[in-house]
Amino acid sequence: MFKRLALIGLLACAPAAAHAQTGPWVGTWGASPAPPLAATAAPTGFAVPKTAFDDQTLVQVVRLSTGGRRLRLRLSNAYGSVPLQIGAVRVAVLDAKGEAAGDRAVTFSGAATALIPVGAPMVSDPVDISTRALARLRVAIYLPGKVALCTCHMSGGETALLSPPGDYTQRPIPPSLGKTPLTYRAFLTGVEVQGAARGPVIVAFGDSITDGYLSTNDADRRWPDRLAERLAARGQAAVVNAGIGGNRILSDGVISIFGVSALARFDRDVLAIPGATHLIVLEGVNDIGMGAASPPTAEALIAGLRQMIARAHDRGLKVIGGTILPYEGANYFRSEGEVVRQAVNRWIRTGGEFDGVIDFDAAMRDPAKPARMKAELQSGDWLHPNDAGYRVMGDAVNLKLFAAR
């Protein structure tokens, strides 16, 4: 009887012991998906597929923010019209020269293939591959069937490759076969690691400025990238970018690839990130600018921000508010909108409702013309920073905001 009780006790402790040995899953990279858009409706600067995927392999590279002893992928068919067929997936860590240091097959409930239901995400099985902070990971996804609607993130900032017909997950795409470079993310929405050193898991939530629009492709120059670099130099920490270009707090995007409203996507893109401890919110300039001479009131935008604070606090996250950058000179700037921006920023700084504040406005504005960015920090449209500006933003974040609670 004693032996039987002892055995029962050991079995009861086994799951907890296994969890303690490997640790919890944490998000290390992300790309928030948005509804698809026909190529004919695409605005300048967004690469949209002109044809459907059909019996092709998509190869994407991502830079992880924190490392671990193993990883898993999060794929999505959120905006598909039919179940998404996955024929094969493989991952490989890249060395400093961009060469694969070994690759692994990715499975789903033990199978090499998967069928993702309409509207659903799918998390892969764990993959035993060790990664370090700021490691680059190559993900090859074979799509054996025709995919008419892409669950995509249209401003990827990284060159991906689309193969000719066939499964190229275990072989290179020969240049002679006409490989097609892309700059959007398709179907891959997250990477999670297990066995990471204990540290904060930060979600950067916002619009194109968080997404790093007009930063240099393939260079990881977004402000969350810079924040991840600073944190990695001090120890392990994760930064997940949940920005979508054109996104707004109160309304869906004026075109579909700008995503549903921040309030509508908040649970999926913030609260579903495993291990999240902190949230940085930088959003509102599109609500203001796209409102032209009749922008939303400061009170309406503040109410939207309060919703995010409340919903994040319910899950135990600390919420840090980022002041809205100056945008005079942008094509949608209006004096009426500037009044709203100043009022919202004043509340962010002094309202006391955020757990911390990052004054991006103060870091980026021209002291002689405070309604606009410093000329040397903007990309040319007076709305988006350039690489130097994104670096200033990343350096403006006080790392003490992420001290252990």
Output the six-digit token pair for 84.
């998404």
Q: Report the pLDDT value the prediction gives residue 197, as an integer from 0 to 100.
A: 80
Distance separating alpha carbons of residues 238 and 133, to the nearest angstrom = 9
- Helices and strands, number each (H, E), in the chain: 9, 21
- Strands, E, within 183-232: which ranges? 185-186, 188-194, 201-206
How many angstroms separate the Cα of 314 from the Cα of each of 134, 210, 271, 310? 30, 24, 10, 6
Distance from chain centroid for Cα 245: 11
Output the six-digit token pair for 245.
């270009």
Total-model pTM: 0.92
Query: What amino acid occupies position 156?
Result: G
Distance separating alpha carbons of residues 229 and 316, to the nearest angstrom = 25
Q: Report the pLDDT value the prediction gives residue 97, as an integer from 0 to 100.
A: 86
Q: Report the pLDDT value the prediction gives residue 176, as an integer from 0 to 100.
A: 64
Distance separating alpha carbons of residues 403 and 363, to the nearest angstrom = 22
Q: Report the pLDDT value the prediction gives residue 6, as an integer from 0 to 100.
A: 41
Closest CA to 209 of 253, 169, 246: 246
Output the six-digit token pair for 169.
């997950």
N-terminal to C-terminal alpha carbon distance within the chain: 45
Q: Report the pLDDT value the prediction gives residue 52, as an integer from 0 to 100.
A: 75
The radius of gyration computed from the CA coordinates of the chain, to the nearest angstrom, equals: 22
Q: Report the pLDDT value the prediction gives residue 8, as an integer from 0 to 100.
A: 39
Q: Are strands 318-322 and 356-358 parallel, antiparallel or unpaired?
A: parallel
**Number of Cβ atoms within 10 Å of the Cβ of 22:** 14
Contact 321, 368 (CB under 8 A): no
Contacts of 56 (CB under 8 A, 6+ apart): 142, 143, 162, 163, 164, 165, 166
Taking only the tens of pLDDT, the chain with its 405 residues reads 434 444 434 444 444 444 444 789 999 999 999 998 754 455 555 545 445 799 999 999 999 999 999 999 999 999 999 999 999 999 999 998 888 988 999 999 999 999 999 999 999 999 999 999 999 999 999 999 999 889 999 999 999 999 999 999 999 887 766 556 788 999 999 999 999 888 999 999 999 999 999 999 999 999 999 999 999 999 879 999 999 999 999 999 999 999 999 999 999 999 999 999 999 999 999 999 999 999 999 999 999 999 999 999 999 999 999 999 999 999 999 999 999 999 999 999 999 999 999 999 999 999 999 999 999 999 999 999 999 999 999 999 999 999 865
Q: Report the pLDDT value the prediction gives residue 175, as an integer from 0 to 100.
A: 72
Distance separating alpha carbons of residues 33 and 29, to the nearest angstrom = 13
